[in-house]
Amino acid sequence: METTMVGTVVRIKGRDYFVALGEKEYRCTIRGKFRIKGVVEGSIPVVGDRVEVRVDESLPSNEPQGLITNVLPRKSVFRRVDPSNRQRSRVIASNIDEVCLVFSIREPELNRRMLDRMIVAAESEGIEPVICINKMDLAENRDSAERNMLVYSSLGYRTIYTSTVTGEGIDELKNIMLNKISILTGPSGSGKSSLIARIQPGLELKVGSVSSRTGKGRHTTTHFELHRLDEGGYIADTPGIREFGIYGVAKEELSRYFREFASFEGQCRFSPCTHSHEPGCSVKKALEEGLIDGERYGSYLRILESLETLRSWKK
């Protein structure tokens, strides 16, 4: 007997979609129309999607017992430019409540440029970014490390310092994830899988190391999966990222995702102002006066160069 229910896609392996329906998890397939519509961006289910599923439990357990018939509207999408086709995006997950941006203090070294890009990607979709600075047991100068991150906490970004060796910050990280769908993303080797193992003991996630030749992390997570937390909610470890291009943000919109610019918007001589080359720019004046962090402004300019204009997006 078939019944139709609504569940959440928790992982995808090949052509199989695993959907959580209450306390049960069903292996499902998708309608042919999804494969046909797959040429249109965002049409096939992704992890985190709320989907309508027809379930037939009379089918053998070694066969898919569910058929995904519809994807419900997404409240958010965390995505980046597809490295294989920069005109398209690669959706990492949908319907996420918060994204935890995990960067190690060392091994590999903290990459603030990538951090800034990820913050823009999250905020442009209305997802709350949380910054996690991991491997604090390796910090040579803790005061210097925290000063380097002060610009983010002063802008209102929650910043958590963690170590899976000492246990620092693990409880704080766990508490902010209760009853939410959260993902951990960041560079390869930043310790995301190790953090999840501390947050939810018993999860068998592979843990990798950092290449001594390149100083970059090795990929250990090869697919994206939501794991149910015992105390409520879901958590996921994404495959490590070595480059992160922003998708879906136009040049004219970028400044709204740099919070420090807000106090100076509207005071520029020209409107609109890209805050890059125009004379009489209030943001550049604030930079000169030390009111805006130089490294953050450098990130802004680099991202700006990579984006299309609003007119181009609407073509």
pLDDT digits (tens, 9 = 90+) for 154-168: 999 999 999 999 999
Read off the pLDDT of each residue in 237-241 and give the average, rounded to a whole number: 77
Q: How confident is the model at residue 277 (pLDDT cuts 50, 70, 90)?
A: very high
* Higher per-residue confidence, 72 vs 209: 72
Q: 89 pLDDT exceeds 90?
A: no
Work out the mean pLDDT of the chain and round it to a whole number.
87
User: Out of 2.130.10.10, 3.30.465.10, 3.40.50.300, 3.40.190.10, which CATH number does the structure's domain 77-237 have?
Assistant: 3.40.50.300
Query: To 10 degrees, the CA torsion angle through 26, 27, 33, 39?
Result: 120
Read off the pLDDT of each residue in 292-311 and give the average, rounded to a whole number: 88
User: Out of 3.40.50.300, 1.10.40.50, 3.10.105.10, 3.90.1200.10, which CATH number does the structure's domain 251-313 have?
Assistant: 1.10.40.50
Q: How confident is the model at residue 243 (pLDDT cuts 50, 70, 90)?
A: confident
* Per-residue pLDDT at 217: 39
* Per-residue pLDDT at 68: 94
What is the architecture of the domain spanning 2-71?
Answer: Beta Barrel (2.40)
* Per-residue pLDDT at 206: 44
Segments making up each domain of the chain, as ranges: 2-71, 77-237, 251-313
Read off the pLDDT of each residue in 111-136 and give the average, rounded to a whole number: 95
Q: 275 pLDDT exceeds 70?
A: yes
Percentage of the chain beyond pLDDT 90 is 65
Q: 218 pLDDT exceeds 60?
A: no
